[in-house]
Structure 1
């Protein structure tokens, strides 16, 4: 079968499409899926560079955290699916392949979704739902600050926040992206989402407090890290919750503990990839029960924003596209 393969850790030019053996027949609770589309995430870019290896048991040279496709075979203990079912799901690696074998608990029946939509949902929406709803416990009327709001997880977090009655403020470094998000035809057109364009670095707390009439953000979804974090502390409301999800701006920052104490802040780091199957299954089940039906309602209450679809052979170009910060929403590979 064909799979995306990292020949050497480094630049996009080191990506290739190789033929490797198909997975063994599924055992126990495993299902074998023929992949139609696979998502590309920042984590794949980091893995390509050798900076974010997968957990034990996954080939570090084969990226891919999410997929959508058809079940072709089931292990003897599978109870949720049968051959022919269309599913989407999450994994810790190797999803950018023609076939993948995964535990049935990490897949969702996606029969009512288009193939592209199904592939764009798992990693972004499960991550965002787990951070925003399950852990930060966002409620109606909360102000939610979302960094890198034009990213896949950023857009998912914003849509989920709006769907439960929160008010959303996002940050981006691009005026063009801000206009694309809130202008006519954009996903947040006439939805009251405020966008802060950060031209001169991450200084946003003063403007954030102006937009919230001095209250601050009840929840901060930080997909950037680094020198954004000091202003996260300043931006947070009393008893605010700061969720650290991404570190694209670096893993170190100055931490004024006095602010955290005086505001009684909750600061929590979260990651989906390295969790156990049981923990991932809980996050997936919670998302499925609370949110999945909103994608197939009439009209849809949630709609994944897909920026661009690349052919499998163009995976290096897709990585350059993401690294150039061109995408608004999800980038997919078509297998």
Structure 2
């Protein structure tokens, strides 16, 4: 640690599970970087659905992770742990973290840090890690999306959805998405979706079948679950892939697996937070190679809806709970 750092910082505590008001500002000592880690003075942090799940008591941090919520940050490296040689003091980075992001200072494995893309602010950079790591590993690695294929993205106006639409567009896919209102539909169309399906008054299975001449889509990215799963299977083409990344509806249900066999489908999914540093580092390297040039050229960018001061994290979560937002909700931690 350098001698110029303060002894204490403001962070967001979660003394008990509950609604947005469960998140309260607190003061405490700065975390210390372990071997292979860096300490980052946080400029901004992203708010994500897993943070809401943690607040509600449904998503505990993995062993060894900070109990403070927050999975993505951007800022300046202010201290180096033993063995760190790939970063230097003063570097501006964004990072995927296992927790601790809702704070003025946060530790991160150096291998999970990426340089702030040229032309992006620290606030914009903080909106990248959770969504871009998730979309890259699930859509392109597990889902194997290729140019010319069709993809259905549920929740197209979310942070994940707006990221997936832009990346699928840049890699040459036809994109369909589900949304809850006309404003969200227009936002998805503006980002590159061919069709935005309002799930409140349209059956997405029928729509994608019509759009694909009865074949169905090659890939579905689903963060809803529940009764969407058998409908997803119906909407998939032969050799199609369903990638499950979250559940807003129940994760347990009963359905007929026969269509999966008859259409030779692949059903897969993943979570990001429990993966090893090495696994996350591999995703970071792939992003740096394949996606960072798109960010630096302006071809893709994070869509930021609203930013709250760190002390008003509860208001940020209230907005997240309302689902009114389009794109990312952010915290200003400076």
TM-score (norm 1): 0.94
2:171 aligned with 1:164, yes or no? Answer: yes
Deviations 1:186-228 (A, max 9, x none): x42xx45210001158x42111100112121101000111111
SS at 1:133 equivalent: helix
Counterpart for residue 102 of structure 1: 108
2:217 aligned with 1:209, yes or no? Answer: no
Query: CA offset at residue 181 of structure 1?
Result: 3.1
CA distance in 1 between partners of 2:12 and 2:234 (Å):
42
Q: 1:220 to 1:111 in 2, by over 3 A?
A: closer
2:69 aligned with 1:63, yes or no? Answer: yes
> Is 2:218–2:240's contact at 8 Å kept on the other side of the alignment?
yes
Counterpart for residue 5 of structure 2: none
SS at 1:214 equivalent: coil
Which of 145, 159, 165 is 1:138 aligned to?
Answer: 145
SS at 1:318 equivalent: helix
> Would you identify which runs of 4 or more consecutive aligned residues in structure 1 move more than 3 Å?
none
Query: CA offset at residue 121 of structure 1?
Result: 0.7
CA distance in 1 between partners of 2:321 and 2:34 (Å):
38
Which of 8, 11, 21 is 2:19 aligned to?
Answer: 11
SS at 2:89 equivalent: coil
CA distance in 2 between partners of 1:162 and 1:114 (Å):
23
Query: CA offset at residue 237 of structure 1?
Result: 0.6
Counterpart for residue 93 of structure 2: 87
2:18 aligned with 1:20, yes or no? Answer: no
CA distance in 2 between partners of 1:254 and 1:288 (Å):
40
2:246 aligned with 1:246, yes or no? Answer: yes
Query: CA offset at residue 147 of structure 1?
Result: 0.3
Counterpart for residue 330 of structure 1: 328
> Is 2:157–2:326's contact at 8 Å kept on the other side of the alignment?
yes
SS at 1:221 equivalent: strand
List alignment gaps of at least 5 residues for structure 1: none
Query: CA offset at residue 254 of structure 1?
Result: 3.0
CA distance in 2 between partners of 1:210 and 1:110 (Å):
42
Deviations 1:103-127 (A, max 9, x none): 1001001152211210111100110
TM-score (norm 2): 0.94
2:198 aligned with 1:197, yes or no? Answer: yes
List alignment gaps of at least 5 residues for structure 2: 1-8
Counterpart for residue 82 of structure 2: 76
Counterpart for residue 152 of structure 1: 159
